Structure 1
Amino acid sequence: MMSHIVDFTNVSTVGLESSPVASSLAGLRANEARYFKNKYDFVFTVEPAQETQTIVDWVHHILQKERNIVIASPPLETALVEVDDIRWPYVFYQNGLAINVLYTLNDAKKRAVGFKLSEGMDIPFELNTFKFARQKSKLAGIIRGSYFVIKGQY
């Protein structure tokens, strides 16, 4: 499989088929694609995680160093958005979790890790100390989200 553009008009589970919540994870992925298209006119493209290990490793390194978090679920796909001096990598996991890192290149005070849970999945054990807010999405149903501010330099 190669990279593909995420279509938020016709939601597809391509690349996410092994997830027990594939359809809601696909909706979550499409929701993110729609956000970046509407806000930044950016085309959201995903690639298999095994082909973009540097993105997965960077996100996992930040999680480990900042909060000693190790994600148990296998990563399925990644995306890398670079707009307005922000590097915004995404990792989509088999259990339905999506993690993004908002990493501003010019302002160390505006950096954070975001977690989004697909509808139908439980909160992963490694994230059970976080409080999750709910948001409705036409594409993804109920999305639960949380985040933490990054303190270090990566």
Structure 2
Amino acid sequence: MSYIVDFVNVSSVGLESSPVVEALAGLRANEARYFRNKYDHVFTVSPVSDAPDVLEWVSHILSEERDIVIASRPLEVTSFEVEGIRMAYVFYESGLSINVMYGIEDGQKRAVGFKLADGMEVPEELASRFKFARQKSKLAGVIRGSYFVIKGEY
């Protein structure tokens, strides 16, 4: 069942099994606020079992581009298009959020972003490959993030 993420009244619905549940809920709400403010898009997530193709697409890009396999259990996904950009998110039990920004037209920006919820350790599969910058969020505390540019076609 899909869930509209409320960034005013932050809820941990769907994320309860995470050891950093409140921080992950704040991170998810932070993303919802960004897309509402920038694109007037309602950020709606679903359990992975309702949209396995989103997880498969993100996992395929990670594997092909950087030989990365995420060890944590995926909890929720979303996929949508705004202003010619396909966006996909996967929220993991560990507190990791991965997003793919994929410009539909050739020459547009294409990248994979990683965000770590406050209180989680950098996952082993990412620790030696990426440096994480910090940003503060009223909804999510301290978010650490990194990214890489997608070179292939997906």
In which range does the TM-score fall when normalised by the shorter chain? over 0.9
The total of aligned residue pairs comes to 153
- Name the structure 2 match of 1:66: 65
Alignment pair present for 1:45 and 2:44? yes
CA distance in 2, matches of 1:136, 1:97: 16
- Name the structure 2 match of 1:8: 7
Alignment pair present for 1:130 and 2:130? yes
Pairwise CA distance, 1:32: 0.1
Q: Counterpart of 2:141 in structure 1: which amino acid?
A: G
Coordinate RMSD, CA, aligned: 0.7
Aligned residues with identical type, % of pairs: 68
CA distance in 2, matches of 1:17, 1:70: 23
User: What per-residue deviation string (whole Å, max 9, x for no partner) do you get for residues 82-137 of structure 1?
Assistant: 10010000000000000000000013451000000000000000001200000000
Q: SS of the residue aligned with 2:125?
A: helix
Pairwise CA distance, 1:80: 1.2
Alignment TM-score, normalising by the size of structure 1? 0.98
Q: Counterpart of 1:98 in structure 2: which amino acid?
A: S
Question: 5+ residue gaps in structure 1?
Answer: none
Q: Which structure 2 residues correspond to residues 5-154 of structure 1 after superposition, within 5 A?
A: 5-128=4-127, 129-154=129-154
CA distance in 2, matches of 1:132, 1:48: 27
CA distance in 1, matches of 2:51, 2:22: 23
Alignment TM-score, normalising by the size of structure 2? 0.98
Moved over 3 A (4+): none
CA distance in 1, matches of 2:13, 2:34: 20
CA distance in 1, matches of 2:55, 2:149: 19
